Structure 1
Amino acid sequence: MSYELKRVFASLPHMERGVAKVLGGDPKGNNFLYTNGKSVIIRNIENPAIADVYTEHPHQVIVAKYAPSGFYIASGDVSGKIRIWDTTQKEHLLKYEYQPFGGKIKDISWTEDSKRIAVVGEGREKFGAVFLWDTGSSVGEIVGHSKIINTVDIKQTRPYRLVTGSDDNCTTFLEGPPFKFKCTMSDHSRFVNCVRFSPDGNRYASAGADGQIFLYDGKSGEKLGTLGGEKAHDGGIYAVSWSADSTQLISASGDKTVKLWDVGSGTAVTTFNLGSDVLDQQLGCLWQKNHLLSVSLSGFINYLDKNNPDRPLRTIKGHTKSIQCLTVHNADGRLNIYSGSHDGHINYWDSESGENDEILGKGHSNLVSKMTVDDAGRLVTCSMDDTVRYTDLSKREYSASDMIKMDMQPKCVSVGPGGLAVTVCIGQLVLLKDKKKLFTLDSLGYEPEAAAVHPGGGTVAVGGADGKVRLYSVQGNTLKDDGKVLDVQGPVTDMSYSKDGAFLAVTDEKKVVTVFTVADGYTEKNEFYGHHAKVVCLSWSPDNEHFATGGMDMMVYVWTVSNPDKRIKLPDTHRLHHVSGLAWLDANTLVTTSHDACVKQWTLKI
């Protein structure tokens, strides 16, 4: 019994309003990279469904950049640590780690020989450092600023020059190596967000929150002019990126546009309009070979189309916040994965191609706690916004009429045949049928945590915080307590019937999974031990002989019902967080999600 990672559908970049997002590009032009939480995400530019995630930082990572050789990546986090790691091996072995200053690292630049690195950010005594990549010894001083430095770039041709931009509205120009302060330019009237040299080294551009882009001579630092006259954009500019031939550049702005500039004439050739919503502000951009990318405040990555500036060639969507639950649905032979996140977003993914989009319209406004698909092909979701929603998966659009308001916050929803559903709310159970509340059971005498409706529809099992499972029968439009109580080891966290209804599996806080045989009057079949911390989720394989569980110990186990010792252990499925959701695509493919906002597929050899 073995396993291997089959696919990763990566998270989007973590975005903050008014904060520039640095995108890194691979020198060969095949990949681009960005950060979210403690992860660095590397994606293939032609097929972004191909992704790799680096998770070795102990703190939130802000920026990552490829070395010009393409063999290493340097990434910097909020604590001021720089990690330099290998890109060629799957393990991404750490080469060096440095702490150039204490505080958030905001930008990184390498010299073209991949030997020196400049880093800038929010230090305490100093805001930047330049050092040799293999020894960490200093090759100059970054001085001349009185506030946080936001951006740095090094000229990629000799003689080397280094330029920085800061919250003190200035840029500084340094000559080297060793890098020495030469002069300060105070042309901007607001924060400087981005400075970038052209690939040929003849010029560099600086862009600021004042909506202006200035051009300077790459060797002397002398001012050459501006782009777009008085103002390049109506909003602040967060990023610029040059074309490979150094004749054009793109700029991304808070005015929700990206502009393509002809540097020689200083005029905008194309203006890409990316929407009218606040979330359409453009906070980052990258020109990589013939791809023009920009990142919206929503986290969406846009592939810009020079021939049709009002509509991107494609937009990569996904999650920026932690994923809380998932389910799988087979529509006409295509298997789709549905995932719900902390901010109420629900995304769907084609399990083969990774093509994804979000459900249209106004959906949940808070964390989606549980989701499942009923036999009518509707996605049934419950959320901390105190609602249960039914979404028709053939339309994939929210509708206000399909929302049911609950009296208490729902924690869990389970569906049965014929439109039947049971929602567990704080202190109550609610029976639903065909998008209507039929019956509410209050004053239970215990706190319900999870429920499972038997595939036959007649029985509902409810697990409580008191470590007991109670059975209820569905009689007409009511739920009746059968008086039967099953004991498990601790407070129930999740439960589910096997697809054929033969078994009921229950997970609890005491690290145990208990399986009951339904036909024998719910006698205990087996207890499964292996987790080192509380078990939080479980899912049955379509073969009814195996099921998977995920725990707070970051482990996923795949168990065999008839033999508790026959199991597959998947350590570190999502290295930084426990698995928050599990689902099976088929008897050999398991899908996992976690708070790293990624969706992963695993091939199991059972």
Structure 2
Amino acid sequence: KKKKKKKKKKKKKKQMRYFQPLKIAQGHVGNVTSVKFSPNSEQLVSASTDGTVRIWDVKSGIDIKVLRGHMEAIYEAYFSPDGKSIVSCSRDKTIRIWEAESGKEIRRIGECPSATLSAQFSPDGKTIVSGSYDKQIRLWNVNSGHLIKKLEGHSRVVCDVQFSPDGQMVVSSSFDNTIILWNTQSGEKIHQLRGHSGVVLKTKFSPDCCNIVSCSSDNTIRIWDVLSGKEVRTLQGHDKAVTGVHYSPDGQIIVSCAKDSTVRIWDVKSGNQIQKLEGHFDCVNDVNFSTNGNTIASSSLDETIRLWWWQY
């Protein structure tokens, strides 16, 4: 009897995500330095050199609240994990907390001796981490506004700070061309990552906390292993300084933006560029994924926020 040949199971092809333009949100009258989704992805918060923080309705693309109080350019604004508060940091040397629903200022955090470039809530919403011109990283108590501790290690301006998704670590990037991983509890350095030949403008953790992605004025994006501190991969494609990076919620793709006015999508596993999104006509400063991974928001020196949508 002839043996029946076993049919080979066809491998399911991995579905690629291709994003297309969805909306342009206009309202700022200055460089839009930062854009972030709310935890439910129904709203966006943006910061600008025009001295305002704006809350946007994602569905309509309309700004529903304008938060005024900062006296100078605002570098970053983030929602709290519960979506009820917003933290913003500015050249005016203040970090402010706002009530998202009313748009009213609730509190000013501590005393900052210099301009703060980056500030973000911890995953439990109880702590804020900030990075400043004075090379310092600070951890603040949200309720009291008091300083908990300083993390010292960078030799130049701190550009960006971020908590790990589990809250156990902080990652920082600097004008000294390095990235530092910190233990949140002890304040000790875990690793100092070297490899970029330019200013490291942004760093972000992968959702599983195993990797870090960084971007630099050396035109590259690099992926690092958290445990070893070793570089895993370099992503190249942008032809000017890469100003922003963000992981998709499933950790499979990275979105980046640059001074070359483009937003690019990368496959994490292969390091290949999947897509180039064009539409902004000046430097793109920041990119962010919605919590379901279907929408990307980008903000630019062209004073607009653009939404890019993956139709699945």
Q: Which residue of 2 aligns with 1:380?
A: 87
Q: Which residue of 2 aligns with 1:365?
A: 71
- Structure 1 residues 394 and 7: alpha-carbon distance in aligned structure 2, compared to 1, 3 A threshold: same
Q: Which residue of 1 aligns with 2:3?
A: none
- Is 1:341 aligned to 2:51, yes or no? no
- Structure 1 residues 505 and 442: alpha-carbon distance in aligned structure 2, compared to 1, 3 A threshold: closer
Q: Which residue of 2 aligns with 1:408?
A: 114
Equivalent positions of 1:196-207 (< 5 A) are: none
| CA offsets 1:271-295 (integer angstroms, 9 cap, x no match) | xxxxxxxxxxxxxxxxxxxxxxxxx
| 8 A contact 1:582–1:593 mirrored in 2 | yes
- Is 1:600 aligned to 2:306, yes or no? yes
Equivalent positions of 1:307-326 (< 5 A) are: 318-326=27-35
Q: Which residue of 2 aligns with 1:454?
A: 164
Equivalent positions of 1:97-246 (< 5 A) are: none
Cα distance, 1:403 vs. partner? 4.2
| 8 A contact 1:324–1:367 mirrored in 2 | no
- Is 1:489 aligned to 2:196, yes or no? yes
Secondary structure in 2 matching 1:542? coil
Secondary structure in 2 matching 1:574? coil
- Is 1:8 aligned to 2:35, yes or no? no
Cα distance, 1:525 vs. partner? 2.3
Cα distance, 1:560 vs. partner? 1.4
Secondary structure in 2 matching 1:564? coil
Q: What fraction of aligned residue pairs are identical, expressed as a percent?
A: 20
Q: What TM-score results when the alignment is normalised by the length of structure 1?
A: 0.45
Matched residues in 2 for 1:386 and 1:601: separation?
Answer: 30
- Is 1:429 aligned to 2:137, yes or no? yes
Matched residues in 2 for 1:437 and 1:356: separation?
Answer: 33
Q: Which residue of 2 aligns with 1:551?
A: 258
Q: 1:582 aligns with which of 287, 300, 311?
A: 287
Cα distance, 1:444 vs. partner? 4.5
Secondary structure in 2 matching 1:526? strand
Cα distance, 1:591 vs. partner? 1.1
Cα distance, 1:605 vs. partner? 6.0
- Structure 1 residues 458 and 388: alpha-carbon distance in aligned structure 2, compared to 1, 3 A threshold: same
Q: Which residue of 1 aligns with 2:10?
A: none
Q: Which residue of 2 aligns with 1:258?
A: none
Q: 1:474 aligns with which of 153, 160, 184?
A: 184
- Is 1:531 aligned to 2:241, yes or no? no
Secondary structure in 2 matching 1:500? coil
Gapped runs of 5+ residues in structure 2?
1-15
Matched residues in 1 for 2:244 and 2:154: separation?
Answer: 24
Gapped runs of 5+ residues in structure 1?
11-317
| 8 A contact 2:39–2:81 mirrored in 1 | no
| 8 A contact 2:72–2:90 mirrored in 1 | yes
| 8 A contact 2:287–2:296 mirrored in 1 | yes
Cα distance, 1:355 vs. partner? 3.5
| CA offsets 1:403-441 (integer angstroms, 9 cap, x no match) | 443111111123322322221111211111223321234
| CA offsets 1:110-160 (integer angstroms, 9 cap, x no match) | xxxxxxxxxxxxxxxxxxxxxxxxxxxxxxxxxxxxxxxxxxxxxxxxxxx
Matched residues in 1 for 2:184 and 2:56: separation?
Answer: 35
| 8 A contact 2:172–2:179 mirrored in 1 | yes
| 8 A contact 1:420–1:457 mirrored in 2 | no
Cα distance, 1:451 vs. partner? 2.0
Cα distance, 1:319 vs. partner? 1.7
| 8 A contact 2:252–2:267 mirrored in 1 | yes
Residue identity opposite 2:159 in structure 1: E
- Is 1:565 aligned to 2:275, yes or no? no
What is the root-mean-square deviation in Å for CA atoms of aligned residues? 2.2
| CA offsets 1:155-188 (integer angstroms, 9 cap, x no match) | xxxxxxxxxxxxxxxxxxxxxxxxxxxxxxxxxx
- Structure 1 residues 446 and 596: alpha-carbon distance in aligned structure 2, compared to 1, 3 A threshold: closer
1 or 2 for the larger relative contact order (CA 8 Å, sep ≥6)? 2
Matched residues in 1 for 2:152 and 2:182: separation?
Answer: 14
| 8 A contact 1:540–1:547 mirrored in 2 | yes
Matched residues in 1 for 2:119 and 2:195: separation?
Answer: 21
| 8 A contact 1:469–1:488 mirrored in 2 | no
Matched residues in 2 for 1:457 and 1:391: separation?
Answer: 22
| CA offsets 1:243-294 (integer angstroms, 9 cap, x no match) | xxxxxxxxxxxxxxxxxxxxxxxxxxxxxxxxxxxxxxxxxxxxxxxxxxxx
Matched residues in 1 for 2:122 and 2:223: separation?
Answer: 20
Cα distance, 1:442 vs. partner? 5.1
Residue identity opposite 2:184 in structure 1: V
- Structure 1 residues 376 and 3: alpha-carbon distance in aligned structure 2, compared to 1, 3 A threshold: closer
Q: What TM-score results when the alignment is normalised by the length of structure 2?
A: 0.85
Matched residues in 1 for 2:58 and 2:188: separation?
Answer: 40
Matched residues in 2 for 1:500 and 1:374: separation?
Answer: 20
| CA offsets 1:166-217 (integer angstroms, 9 cap, x no match) | xxxxxxxxxxxxxxxxxxxxxxxxxxxxxxxxxxxxxxxxxxxxxxxxxxxx
- Structure 1 residues 433 and 499: alpha-carbon distance in aligned structure 2, compared to 1, 3 A threshold: farther
Cα distance, 1:443 vs. partner? 7.2
| 8 A contact 1:456–1:501 mirrored in 2 | yes
Q: Which residue of 2 aligns with 1:507?
A: 215
Cα distance, 1:348 vs. partner? 1.2
Cα distance, 1:599 vs. partner? 1.8
- Is 1:420 aligned to 2:130, yes or no? no
Cα distance, 1:521 vs. partner? 2.7
| 8 A contact 2:53–2:77 mirrored in 1 | no
